[in-house]
Amino acid sequence: MLLGAVFLVCSAVAQAWPTEPIRLIVPYTLAGTTDVQARALASGLSRDSGWKVIVENRPGSAGSVGLDVLAKAKPDGNTLAIGQTSNLVIQQAMDLLRPFDAAKAFTPIALLSRQPVVLVVRTGTHASLNELLAAARSGDLPLVMASASNGSVGHLAGELLMKRTGLRLSHIPYTGAAPALSALVSGHVDFAFPTVQSALPLIRAGRLRALAVSSEDRLPQLPQAPTLTEAGFPGLVLHDWKLLIATAGLPTPIQQTLRQRVLQVQKSTAWAEASPQQATAAMTQPDLYRFLDAERQYWRRQVREVFPGSR
């Protein structure tokens, strides 16, 4: 009888939630891939569930400002956020100072996307990765790379590439993918490693050229761009992923309701159109924790390669 009572209480908690509009925190600027996916998710949840979901952009400190808002929120499911490889895993491996412990402060809800990054330059500059590296070897100054933030997948991709070629790199972190790519198109930097989703419109518009992708195989959208492995860097396979996360301690019934609703949104045509090259398999809660543990170990190795003094 006790178990039955507990079940009824838990069911009541899930049925009563949400009691107010849900805040969905995006820790980066407008128009980047994180923002686009967040708005597609908010729209889908509102359409399918009738919930009012308000997207709130809180950029700053490489995503830490926005995630700190979530870390300090009540674990009632009324505040959620989009976490990703950079602010949940890489920055911790880099020992970047943050006001929360990403391994303890959050509850993973659902994997939203997983995609490679693409090495891009301005159209009319370098025709291949070999040309880019040759320019770096012959120049007096290091190549300048833009990234969405310090500790992003794009940042580590550039650092790893330069480390393995023995070349110098100057890195300028921006507050998101959109301003980083704007700087590249404007000629303020030499190259970048954005996600495929954020770079593809500019590539198709003829403003950027793709030199290589960080996936295991070539991408159907960019068939002419070799993988980094094909370009002479075996094993350099990197992915940027995004998770819907809640504050640690969120009641299990609310977690389950949220996960079911997100999976429903991900099956929709609208989500597929807003998130190309984003297919992900549904994960249980234990799966998500195992995924995060494996990613922490993987990126700790990459960070140690680039920054040998890291723990």
Q: What is the pLDDT of residues 82-137, one digit of tens each?
A: 999 999 999 999 998 899 999 999 999 999 999 999 999 999 999 999 999 999 99
Q: 3-class secondary structure for 237-289?
A: CCEEEEEEEEECCCCHHHHHHHHHHHHHHHCCHHHHHHCCCCCCCCCCHHHHH
Stated as kind and residue range, the H or E segment containing 115 is: strand 106-116
- CB atoms inside a 10 Å sphere around CB 4: 8
Instruction: Specify the pairing of strand 79-84 against strand 22-26.
Output: parallel
The Cα–Cα gap between 261 and 77 comes to: 13
Segment 161-218, tens digit of pLDDT: 999 999 999 999 998 888 999 999 999 999 999 999 999 999 999 999 999 999 999 9
Domain 19-114+240-306 fold is: D-Maltodextrin-Binding Protein; domain 2 (3.40.190)
Mean pLDDT of 266-286: 77
The three-point CA angle 236-83-118 to 5° equals 30
Could you check whether 19-114+240-306 and 118-213 share the same CATH topology?
yes
Domain positions in the chain are: 19-114+240-306, 118-213
Domain 118-213 fold is: D-Maltodextrin-Binding Protein; domain 2 (3.40.190)
Indicate the pTM of the whole model. Answer: 0.90
